[in-house]
Structure 1
Amino acid sequence: MTLSDSIEAEIHWHPFELNPAMKPEGQNLREHLAEKYGTSLEASISARQTIASLGEELGFEFNFTDEMRIYNTRKAHQLLLWSQSQDLQLDLEIAMFHAYFTDGKDVSDENVLLDIAESFGLDREICQAVLEDSSWEETVASTEQQWLEAGINAVPAIIIDRKHLISGAQNSDILVEALREITHQKSDID
């Protein structure tokens, strides 16, 4: 029996910007990692190769380049938060990952975001209004603040049943075991 046969899950993405103060033009990814984490060129290359290899195993293509930039993702988070009400959040999230990591697109660019949204049948004008609406920006900021206050300070952070936290990039075996254990605990209570 696979995990998908034994556990029913509903996935919700929540806003969490790693670099909320990032300038609109972004920054070279390698330079950013060196400045923020002290990552050497060799460590950066090695990490990107590992990520690309893991992605390939899952059918996702990472195209890291030396010119790759990291961008401010506030607008992307606004659109993703709104898209939950349209039942398209997961689709848009994956499409944004693909646009950035595979196609090298600037996901802070409103036209890139609107093109992605439109490709899923969403009305471009409505999506433009979401991107321009300061209340969506405020909701993203307040949601991020709630997670910071709850002790989340890095991603990925997987929260199950609003009480179990799996933090950091984990091997799939660890995730499967944690999900099985949580499910088992829950079935003992029910």
Structure 2
Amino acid sequence: MVVIIGCKKNDNTDEEFVDVTRHDNYLEIWPEQFSPAISYSWDGNYSITSGQPWSGVTSGASHGGLQLLVKAGRKGSDHVSNWFDSNVSNAACTINSISPLPYELNFAFTGTITINGNNYPVTIGQGHSGASNNWWIGGPGWVFPDKNNGGKICTPDRKYLFTEDGTSAYLFWISEK
């Protein structure tokens, strides 16, 4: 028996080809002008586009900050972005987006980010813009630092500011507010 994964069942249909490859998806959060004690704990909750593989989230240190590794497939859907939206009050994207929330995401997950002993519930998701994947971050009570919310978001207590890198689709900078 031969099984072909990721191909259409019948080439005469209008079904879209769906890639079901598991990828190593990295998100970096680097400190800017301070040296925080920072960590992330995944709580096991996630949403992923139907049919896509999922193997979880791990985290570790990177450039004095944090690196998250998500082993998952990449196929966007509004089901995932709706789940993300229901878990955040506001969100920011690694590549400046004209939308305050994503239209489609490949996957999203929740957990806790701890910065200098302060715990913040956080929701993180991966989407795409053009040929690149991008990342979204937010959570309950997270706020924009000002009226121009493009690519910036603060923790609920406004102690820490997450800012898009502007050129890297996998990097947020974190600074003290």
The answer to which structure has the higher helix fraction is 1
TM-score, with length taken from structure 1 = 0.25
- Which of these two proteins has the greater Rg computed from alpha carbons? 1
More strand by share: 2
TM-score (ref. length: structure 2): 0.26
